[in-house]
Structure 1
Amino acid sequence: MLRFLLVFSVFISSCIFSQKKLNLIPYPQKIEFSEGEFTIPKALILSEYLPKEETEYFKKHFDKAFTFKYEKNQNKVHIVHSFYPPTISHVSNKDDEKKEKYSIYISSKRITINSYTKQGYFLALQTLIQLFEQYKDSGKIPAMKIEDEPKFAWRGMHLDVCRHFFTVEEVKQYIDYLAMYKLNTFHWHLTDDQGWRIEIKKYPKLTQVGSKRKESMIGAYVDNTFDGKPYGPYFYTQDQIKEVVKYAQERHITVVPEIEMPGHALAALTAYPELACTKGPFEPATKWGVFDDVFCPKDETFKFLENVLDEVMTLFPSEYIHIGGDECPKTRWKECAHCQELIKKNNLKDEHGLQSYFIHKIEKYVNSKGRKIIGWDEILEGGLAPNAAVMSWTGVNGGIEAAKSGHFAVMTPGSYCYFDHYQGDPATEPNAFGGFTPLDKVYSYNPIPSELNKEQAKFIKGVQANLWTEYILDFKQVQYMIFPRLFALSEVGWGTADPKNYKEFEGRVINEFKVLDKMGVNYAKSIYNITGKVTAANNGVSYELSTSQDPNGIRYTLDGTDPTVNSQVYKSPVSVSKSLTVKSAYFENGQLKSAVSSQTFTVSKTTGKKITLEQQPSENYSFGGAFTLVDGIIGNQRQLGKTWLGFPGKDVVATIDFGQKTQFSEVYFNTLDNKGSWIHFAKSAQIFISDDGANFKMIKEIGKEEILNAKGKIKLTIGNQNSKYIKVKIENAGIIPTGNPGADSKAWLFVDEIGVN
């Protein structure tokens, strides 16, 4: 057995360590404490037999704290590293599952690290770095045994560099963050409608033309405003790609490139319009969203993509090549004589079958090169390619379908894993894409769906979070959006996240902020802000405030004034029985320590009442469930945050029980219009009343014209009514019409509060 030695000086100490939980992220699978401690020295003696790259990485973390010396004399060694089995080259396929497994034994005289591979050794060093950071002030690490390995083989982070570009050095920093917290996959989104970011030598116009756009959308999507500034040309040369891949390999991170097809292709079609179904002209998109012009499935297109993939596969040694496959409108294919003939010739059912034909053809080529494809869950349309893996983003159903059919899946549902969503109160956060995915929600995610049995669950390859950059203009904002949520993702992927102990995890997160501070990372401090939970109560709702800090530090007002003046100490949930604005903040020793959180309640006769929905919202936009529609909070039409429910292709049919017969004469609700994200105003709405909850009578109906004229802010006068139940049916716009982003797909319907006066 080879033994590699990392040596430290040791001093005797009489300190006895408590059995408290360590400040490690992700938390190891097993820790056992024992008596004694290891004293951290100033001079570190390293065995010259240690794996060089990994050990040099370790040294860089402490180049200012310690002096280092390599030495052959093993008698002085107090920290030992052993590979098992005896040589890495003889690791069997069976043991390949253990390539990330390691153990650390810390006694008063030495630290011993065991692993099967250099990757396992590298992961052990990450744990050791965190232990040194935690105990640097005391200078003594408690004696313990750590036995550790990840639950999931794929633990990934994605970065979109198409909407906004990031330099090679910034991408390297991103990779460093992944390595620090034991993630092992970097998904690099390199092509899209808004920009082509990878040099392809055979097709120089891809970067000459496709890597720049005339301007960019700014602000909220509904504002429809642009900066008027040319963006680009921005792209990575092949030498830069090689540099990044090598950098990642040194940190045992696999880089998975994404080349989008058949949709999200405008930048490529601008450079080579002959690959489209129409003649164009085209230009890289300046707006965000989905566009009708996609790759046409003809011979020259497949030859182009094969040539592109040849160069991509030469640059990236990853097992998987990501081919996108998402959000591909079928509008152009329906109008294209060639596409219709292809459908007929190959006995395809429809355009969805043509998408499957497209993906199968690409997969066959990639497989011929010894690689595999992975794509977003839309590649399931029309039938999944034989060896393809699925990245399940629209929810968990794509992963479930893939696993049940014997295909690998990476779980990345937007409701838990989209880090472009808001992570705190949208009113106090920078502009984001929408949704609401706070730290505790990420931490609560279980990547294995309950619908799968034990054998099917083996096909869940792992978990990944995605960072789309429509609203992320620079790398400081990248940092803000991934931290601290990356900590939660890390522990979910490692398999040690325990939602029941979230508060304990939250404490470790706050402790880890010291490391981010030292690194100069611009992380989100939303965790310090006051959060509010709304629940039903007599005559309205109850508003419970909480904080990651001492709850006695919460102060609030009920009249909308700033809590720094004449506020009261929070002791129990606030009763909300009339319209008011609660402003709250956290204070220490009389000093404001958080942002001021504000929540306005508009109380009506439905507020806090029992509500049922015939169809449930998308899990990506379902925060609070049906109760969101009667919690007294009216949504902001410029922010798709936690106050909205989103329904893909579904009507909203909500029944509200007043509890007793109630008089009312007005009904109100809001819907949204954000066509770039496939969100359309409602088509119609009907109001019904009932005394028994079974037999309903319609009392009011409005059509699309009235909804458009009201710009989605619906307020209906319905005459004097007196009933125990009210039912509100809000009709989805249906299939998106031609000429709109996502044409021929199902529209989304977003609704907020349903109020009655």
Structure 2
Amino acid sequence: MTRLFLALLLIISNIMYAQKKLNLIPYPQNIETHDGSFTVPEVLKLSNDLPQKETEYLKKRFSMVLKFQGAKKADAQLIYTRLPEKSGENKESYILTVTPKQIQIQSSTQQGYFLALQTLIQLLEESKKDGKIPAMKIEDQPKFAWRGMHLDVCRHFFTVDEVKQYIDYLAMYKLNTFHWHLTDDQGWRIEIKKYPKLTEIGSKRKESMIGAYVDNTFDGKPYGPYFYTQEQIKDVVKYAQERHITVVPEIEMPGHALAALSAYPELACTKGPFESATKWGVFDDVFCPKDETFKFLENVLDEVIQLFPSQYIHIGGDECPKTRWKECAHCQDLIKKNNLKDEHGLQSYFIQRIEKYINSKGRKIIGWDEILEGGLAPNAAVMSWTGVNGGIEAAKSKHFAVMTPGAFCYFDHYQGDPQSEPNAFGGFTPLDKIYSYNPIPEELNAEQAKYILGVQANLWTEYILDFKQVQYMIFPRLMALSEVAWGTSDSKNYKEFEGRVINQFKVLDKMNVNYAKSIYNISGKVIPANGGIAYELSTSQNSNGIRYTLDGSIPTISSQTYQNPIAIPNSLTVKSAYFEDGQLKSAVSSQQFTISKTTGKTITLEQQPSENYSFGGAFTLLDGIIGNVRQLGKTWLGFQGKDVVATIDFETKTAFTEVYFNTLENKGSWIHLAKSAQIYVSDDNKNFTKIKEIGKEEIQKANGKILLNVGKQNTKYLKVVIENAGIIPAGNPGADSKAWLFVDEIGVN
């Protein structure tokens, strides 16, 4: 009986051990755990035939804590077996086997070997707890071929050493593509020897916008000249190649061209003069599609292609206003001459002409999803950023696509409560949201899904002033991206992943990385409760450590302990914080509630908000939280080119005399005040009576903060129609594009 009990106990313990996940990110596709463990020695014996450059990387990562020496294969503790390449095999696959005596890596390529080393490095880091690595066999390969991170060096510049650090971060978590955004309105950052004025003039600006966009303030300080010489670029590309990372350069066209036009104004539709932009946003002056422009771009691309061996050259293609083209006689003649439908057709003509040239050099183009306008170039790949539709359209037409939708993959968005985070572009993209992303859209069948190359996150740097802030914005979110890209993420297991992330923080600490600790802060969520609302608090730690107050005072360890969602019966401020061992461990979160008779009721929207600005869905409009005009984070819903038609069900007849709502104006970000608004009431949700209407002038006079006296009402349903401004007029950023309408809390008193 005793022997049977011990045997059962051993089986159960082995099963439990197998179920406990190792602290690896991204998590491998398949792990078999075996009996025993490998004891990490003070000096690790390396087989003399290990791939040299990759092994030097391993030594560099561990030279301070682990020594290495060469050895014959029979005596080595780390050995490598080169497998024969097979047709159709994933070149990044590897097998890592740990036995009590040695560690063996098998792969058919040095790339696979390098990826195995990243897994081994994490295992070695973890072994510092007890000096051992569990015996196991890992068979692993990535799901996606394109696992990318982008860095904008135009709005703010980063040194060669900082760019190399960025590449190292990608390598650590098995990303394989570095998208280098080198040209934009605010600066031209790559030396082109045929056109020296690009860097003499275009690499600097007279000042920079600071603070929130709505503040419209500038620092008054010249910025630049900042650019990379061709020798520096070669150095970065070589550095990336040694880490099996492809550098994809981006040269923006036909829009985002002000820095180039400041140096060569003859390439524009008007005479100028031009200067590198000091504001953020989109500008009307773009490249004019004339022969001398194409010759200029071809010459630029010749030098770019010589510097970057990547298969793809990114040509931008996004946010190109058509204002100048509409007013340009040459452009209008070109449209007629080539039987183009309109200026969108002219954009397609521009992209296709550039693609033909790049194809002639043996390369391919990739561009943001606006390159779909007017028809996609024959061999182009699409980077889908405005949502997923660009990627879906590309894949269905048998074009490759990289998924990088802003709602999930823009790391310039807030990652925690905007009130306790540094100023960011807007949006709200926390760690769990990124981890939940599936790059394969549901709309695609299995054959179409093959055209999804992979996934990428983008870091735009309008509000990122230095490299410490770069680190803050990408970590730990890069870890979630890496597991999504590897294909082993599972949102149902997010809390387990979160634990592995926290375990990785000790590695980042040693590297002196300024990562965000938002994961420790209190996260608040408004939920419907008993006809009103309640405030649900959570943290990555034990929720028993949360303390809160309702009187506006700062929480202390003696404050009320959080146990259940907090009922919010009237207007008040909830302040909360996390404590551990009697010590404050998080930032203090503060949320003000403004309660009205609509708060917590049922709301339906006829048209849904943009995925980028839809956090909380329609309920956001009735959650008792008034949006902050300086932070386009969690509290606003954004609609591009769509009206807001919201119907609120009071459940019983409700008396009120005032209706209020907020809209926002931020023209630099294409956000315009509403054109008009109408208020309706109904008792049956079928027959509605209009009780109030206001026009554009009244909305502008109120600066978007609308409070309407509607007389004495007593009704069961309220409908609020807020009309989008429509197409952005000439003279505004984003002219000819659909305006954004941002709307917040709809309330009645």
Matched residues in 2 for 1:342 and 1:643: separation?
45
Correspondence list, 1:550-629, <5 A: 550-564=542-556, 566-629=558-621
Aligned residue in 2 for 1:144: 136
Q: CA deviation at 1:108?
A: 1.0
* SS class of match (2:17): coil
Correspondence list, 1:718-733, <5 A: 718-733=710-725
Q: In structure 1, give the amino acid aligned to 2:710.
A: I
* SS class of match (1:61): helix
Aligned residue in 2 for 1:84: 83
Aligned residue in 2 for 1:295: 287
Q: CA deviation at 1:42?
A: 0.6
Q: In structure 1, give the amino acid aligned to 2:112.
A: G
Aligned residue in 2 for 1:538: 530
Aligned residue in 2 for 1:10: none
Aligned residue in 1 for 2:7: none
Aligned residue in 2 for 1:38: 38
Aligned residue in 2 for 1:420: 412
Aligned residue in 2 for 1:664: 656
Correspondence list, 1:672-691, <5 A: 672-691=664-683
* Contact 1:667/1:716, CA 8 A, preserved across alignment: yes
Matched residues in 2 for 1:38 and 1:674: separation?
59
Q: CA deviation at 1:649?
A: 0.6
* Contact 1:409/1:459, CA 8 A, preserved across alignment: yes
Matched residues in 1 for 2:712 and 2:557: separation?
43
Q: CA deviation at 1:278?
A: 0.3
* SS class of match (2:352): helix
* Contact 1:182/1:490, CA 8 A, preserved across alignment: yes
Q: How many residues align?
A: 735
Aligned residue in 2 for 1:496: 488
* SS class of match (2:287): coil
* SS class of match (2:237): helix
Aligned residue in 1 for 2:8: none
420, 425, 440: which one aligns with 2:432? 440
Matched residues in 1 for 2:309 and 2:575: separation?
53
Aligned residue in 1 for 2:96: 104
Q: CA deviation at 1:590?
A: 1.4
Q: CA deviation at 1:538?
A: 1.5
Aligned residue in 1 for 2:378: 386
Per-residue CA deviations over 1:710-747 (Å, capped at 9, x if unaligned) read: 11111111111010000000111111111110111111
Matched residues in 2 for 1:566 and 1:48: separation?
62
233, 238, 246: which one aligns with 1:254? 246
Matched residues in 2 for 1:666 and 1:75: separation?
84
Matched residues in 2 for 1:47 and 1:496: separation?
31
Q: Is 2:372 aligned against 1:372? A: no
Matched residues in 2 for 1:65 and 1:167: separation?
29
Per-residue CA deviations over 1:368-424 (Å, capped at 9, x if unaligned) read: 000000000000000000000000000000000000000000000000000000000
Q: CA deviation at 1:566?
A: 4.9
* SS class of match (1:492): helix
Matched residues in 2 for 1:252 and 1:453: separation?
31
* SS class of match (1:665): strand
Q: Which runs of 4+ in 1 moved over 6 A?
A: none
Aligned residue in 2 for 1:529: 521
Matched residues in 2 for 1:369 and 1:471: separation?
37
Aligned residue in 2 for 1:12: none
Correspondence list, 1:338-357, <5 A: 338-357=330-349
Matched residues in 2 for 1:507 and 1:45: separation?
32
Q: In structure 2, give the amino acid aligned to 1:75.
A: A
Aligned residue in 1 for 2:472: 480
Aligned residue in 2 for 1:22: 22
Matched residues in 2 for 1:604 and 1:539: separation?
12
Bigger Cα displacement from structure 2, 655-664 vs 106-115 = 106-115
Gaps of 5+ in 2: 1-12
304, 316, 320: which one aligns with 1:312? 304
Aligned residue in 1 for 2:212: 220
Correspondence list, 1:683-702, <5 A: 683-702=675-694
Q: In structure 2, give the amino acid aligned to 1:70.
A: G
162, 166, 169: which one aligns with 1:170? 162
Aligned residue in 1 for 2:744: 752
* SS class of match (1:103): strand
Matched residues in 2 for 1:647 and 1:566: separation?
44
Q: CA deviation at 1:137?
A: 2.5
Q: CA deviation at 1:329?
A: 0.2
* Contact 2:144/2:486, CA 8 A, preserved across alignment: yes
Matched residues in 1 for 2:689 and 2:610: separation?
29
Aligned residue in 2 for 1:58: 58
* Contact 2:44/2:77, CA 8 A, preserved across alignment: no
Matched residues in 2 for 1:158 and 1:45: separation?
38
Matched residues in 1 for 2:61 and 2:730: separation?
56
Matched residues in 2 for 1:584 and 1:199: separation?
51
Q: In structure 1, give the amino acid aligned to 2:25.
A: I
Correspondence list, 1:450-469, <5 A: 450-469=442-461
* Contact 2:557/2:583, CA 8 A, preserved across alignment: no
104, 114, 126: which one aligns with 2:106? 114
Per-residue CA deviations over 1:142-196 (Å, capped at 9, x if unaligned) read: 1111010000000000000000000000000000000000000000000000000
Aligned residue in 2 for 1:9: none
Q: CA deviation at 1:580?
A: 1.0
Bigger Cα displacement from structure 2, 62-71 vs 410-419 = 62-71
Aligned residue in 2 for 1:7: none
Matched residues in 2 for 1:265 and 1:58: separation?
42
* SS class of match (1:212): coil
Q: CA deviation at 1:565?
A: 6.8
Q: Is 2:67 aligned against 1:75? A: no
Q: CA deviation at 1:75?
A: 2.3
Matched residues in 2 for 1:329 and 1:520: separation?
42
* Contact 1:540/1:603, CA 8 A, preserved across alignment: no
* Contact 2:522/2:538, CA 8 A, preserved across alignment: yes
Matched residues in 1 for 2:77 and 2:558: separation?
60
* SS class of match (1:120): helix
Correspondence list, 1:227-242, <5 A: 227-242=219-234
* Contact 2:597/2:748, CA 8 A, preserved across alignment: yes
* SS class of match (2:74): helix
Task: Please report the TM-score for the alignment, with normalisation by the length of structure 1.
Answer: 0.96
Matched residues in 1 for 2:561 and 2:67: separation?
51
* Contact 2:49/2:80, CA 8 A, preserved across alignment: no
* Root mean square deviation of aligned Cα: 1.0
Q: In structure 2, give the amino acid aligned to 1:149.
A: Q
Q: In structure 1, give the amino acid aligned to 2:125.
A: E
Percent identity, aligned pairs only, is: 81
Matched residues in 2 for 1:75 and 1:123: separation?
24
* Contact 2:557/2:582, CA 8 A, preserved across alignment: no
Aligned residue in 2 for 1:705: 697
Matched residues in 1 for 2:33 and 2:521: separation?
35
Gaps of 5+ in 1: 1-14, 86-90
Matched residues in 2 for 1:566 and 1:592: separation?
12
Aligned residue in 1 for 2:423: 431
Matched residues in 2 for 1:356 and 1:268: separation?
21
Correspondence list, 1:617-656, <5 A: 617-656=609-648
Matched residues in 2 for 1:318 and 1:269: separation?
27
Q: CA deviation at 1:74?
A: 2.5
* SS class of match (2:62): coil
* Contact 1:540/1:578, CA 8 A, preserved across alignment: no
Q: In structure 2, give the amino acid aligned to 1:173.
A: Q
Matched residues in 2 for 1:201 and 1:301: separation?
17
* Contact 1:539/1:577, CA 8 A, preserved across alignment: no
Q: CA deviation at 1:98?
A: 1.4
